[in-house]
Amino acid sequence: MYRRNFLKIGGLALMVSVHSACGEDSVTSNQKRIVVIGAGLSGLAAAQELHRQGHSVLVIEARKRIGGRIWTSTQWTDMPLDFGATWIHGPQGNPLTDLADQINATRLTTSYDRAVIYNTSGKPLSEAEEARMSDLRAQVFRALEQAQDGDTDASIRQVITPLINQFDEASQDYRFINFILNGAIEHEYSGSVERLSAHWYDSDREFEGDDVLFARGFQVIPELLAQGLQIELGQVVKEIQWQRSPVRVITQKTEFSADHVVVTLPLGVLQANTVRFSPELPRSKQDAIAKLGMGVLNKCYLRFADVFWDADVDWLEYIPARHGEWTEWVSFKQAANLPVLLGFNAADWGRAIETWSNEQIVASAMQTLRTIYGVSIPEPIDYQITRWATDPFSLGSYSYNRVGAVPKMRQELAAPLEKSIFFAGEASHQDYFGTAHGAYLSGLRAAQEILNL
């Protein structure tokens, strides 16, 4: 989510026992056999480009669906829900806008200008509280800017400690500062302020324009990119033998061989070492994998019989007594005319509640909504909840710059090895990490690296 600016101002199967990337007989001399691991946006972008240029491409994907961290639930037939990416952040000049235009995808706008902030007791901020919030926000970002001029990196929490420690833990100011850290930083970057690098947390770049979401869900983009591609679902890669020709990719079911392999495994999966690289990856790449951070952003969609909240706002924000609990909400009334609220939880709190049952999560969400809208509001008629940190094929939501990491590590992550394996994925994009467009652009970059050989 692009919170910071706002807060500053207010399958097709291919089966043989050892497969080649496509039927070898049909491969012409200039045509390369390429296996792309992962049918998320980066993998599909790479595969589509290489396929368009005449290469023989096979995408292999662990899940039983394409899209990866773009995943549209169709459980509520009148409202597709995005469990992963929702918005094109900054549609102006964004390459995803061109793709959406190609298919005339209907887009709906949400705006950070249509927002209301509630204090801990559930009342909209008074003018005095708003003024205090602006003042503290300026102090927080001034402290972070000053820290960026220093020689030694520290976590955002460490940098803010002298400021926040001026206030009693039970005070409004203390809660306001934690709200700023959570809403403006943790929800955007998905990392905890305890670990986000004060030097580099915001080393990303942005496109302009109000965020838009897809009326039919973000899935329309992976579906477009998947057209005409050979994709094998349910193939969990276990090992990549890359210092040999052809490269061998071993899954839990079979093996594939290819001239080149594009690896789009999420940073969380690379960190967990569930896929073995043989030989081991070079030290610089291992270092980048270990030092960059994989954060968490989770969603809890609540559907009600009717709207009981402010119908004309998109963003509802709450200043909790405890750091990070149910701070950010989106209403789908204005954008989609549906009585649906989406509560976000990021970083440590987002990770912690993944162990809870659905009922516990909904009860906790309702406690916050009752503080704001009163005890008599109705129970939701349905809900849908994500758990990205424990999803074995992403192990987190998106990457962030952790203390000890530097932006250049994303180039290390992206660097190809010996013309045999190439790397893409949101974490490998130095400027647009953590986003769908970053993933898409990284896929195009990896495809170009192969085309340039």
Could you say whether residue 342 binds ligand FAD (CB under 6 A)?
A: no
Distance CA 421, CA 246 (A): 11
User: Closest Cα partner for 96 from 267, 222, 230?
Assistant: 222
Scanning 5-13, 31-39, 156-164, 168-176 for contacts with ligand FAD by CB under 6 A, the matching segment is 31-39
Per-residue interface string for the shown chain with ligand FAD, residues 372-411, x marking contact by CB under 6 A = ----------------x----xx--xx-------------
Per-residue interface string for the shown chain with ligand FAD, residues 79-118, x marking contact by CB under 6 A = -----xxxx-x-----------------------------
* Least distance (Å) between residue 144 CB and ligand FAD: 23
Cα-Cα-Cα-Cα torsion 96, 101, 104, 110, nearest 10 degrees, comes to 60
Distance CA 393, CA 390 (A): 9
Report the residue from 3, 36, 40, 188 that binds ligand FAD according to the rule CB under 6 A: 40
- Give the tokens for residue 399: 């990457």
* Least distance (Å) between residue 271 CB and ligand FAD: 12
Could you say whether residue 436 binds ligand FAD (CB under 6 A)?
A: yes
* Least distance (Å) between residue 88 CB and ligand FAD: 7
* Least distance (Å) between residue 235 CB and ligand FAD: 6
Distance CA 405, CA 325 (A): 27
Beta bridge partners of 278: 241
- With CB under 6 A, what is the number of residues at the site for ligand FAD? 41
User: Closest Cα partner for 230 from 27, 51, 64, 53?
Assistant: 51
If DSSP states are collapsed to H, E and C, what string results for 100-144? Answer: HHHCCCCEEECCCCCEEEECCCCCECCHHHHHHHHHHHHHHHHHH
Could you say whether residue 34 binds ligand FAD (CB under 6 A)?
A: no
**CB of 129 or CB of 206, closer to ligand FAD:** 206
* Least distance (Å) between residue 425 CB and ligand FAD: 4
Could you say whether residue 62 binds ligand FAD (CB under 6 A)?
A: yes
CB 437, CB 89: distance < 8 Å: yes
Phi, psi of 308 (to 5 degrees): -120, 0
Strand segments, DSSP code E, in 206-352 are 212-214, 230-232, 237-241, 247-251, 255-258, 260-263, 276-278, 293-294, 297-303, 315-318, 328-331, 340-346
CB 81, CB 301: distance < 8 Å: yes
CB 198, CB 162: distance < 8 Å: no
Could you say whether residue 439 binds ligand FAD (CB under 6 A)?
A: yes
Helix (H, G, I), strand (E, B) or coil at 54: coil
Per-residue interface string for the shown chain with ligand FAD, residues 288-307, x marking contact by CB under 6 A = ---------x-x--------
* Least distance (Å) between residue 278 CB and ligand FAD: 15
* Least distance (Å) between residue 376 CB and ligand FAD: 31
**CB of 61 or CB of 325, closer to ligand FAD:** 61
Per-residue interface string for the shown chain with ligand FAD, residues 42-61, x marking contact by CB under 6 A = xx----------------xx
**CB of 333 or CB of 387, closer to ligand FAD:** 387
Report the residue from 32, 55, 69, 195 that binds ligand FAD according to the rule CB under 6 A: 69
User: Closest Cα partner for 214 from 388, 42, 70, 47?
Assistant: 70
- Tokens 């290390």, residue? 412
Distance CA 67, CA 222 (A): 6
Report the residue from 178, 197, 230, 264 that binds ligand FAD according to the rule CB under 6 A: 264
CB 379, CB 253: distance < 8 Å: no
Report the residue from 108, 215, 236, 272 that binds ligand FAD according to the rule CB under 6 A: 236
Report the residue from 133, 269, 292, 313 that binds ligand FAD according to the rule CB under 6 A: 269
- Binders of ligand FAD among 128-167, rule CB under 6 A? none
The contact set with ligand FAD (CB under 6 A) reads 37-43, 60-63, 68-70, 84-87, 89, 235-237, 264-266, 269, 275, 297, 299, 388, 393-394, 397-398, 425-426, 434-437, 439
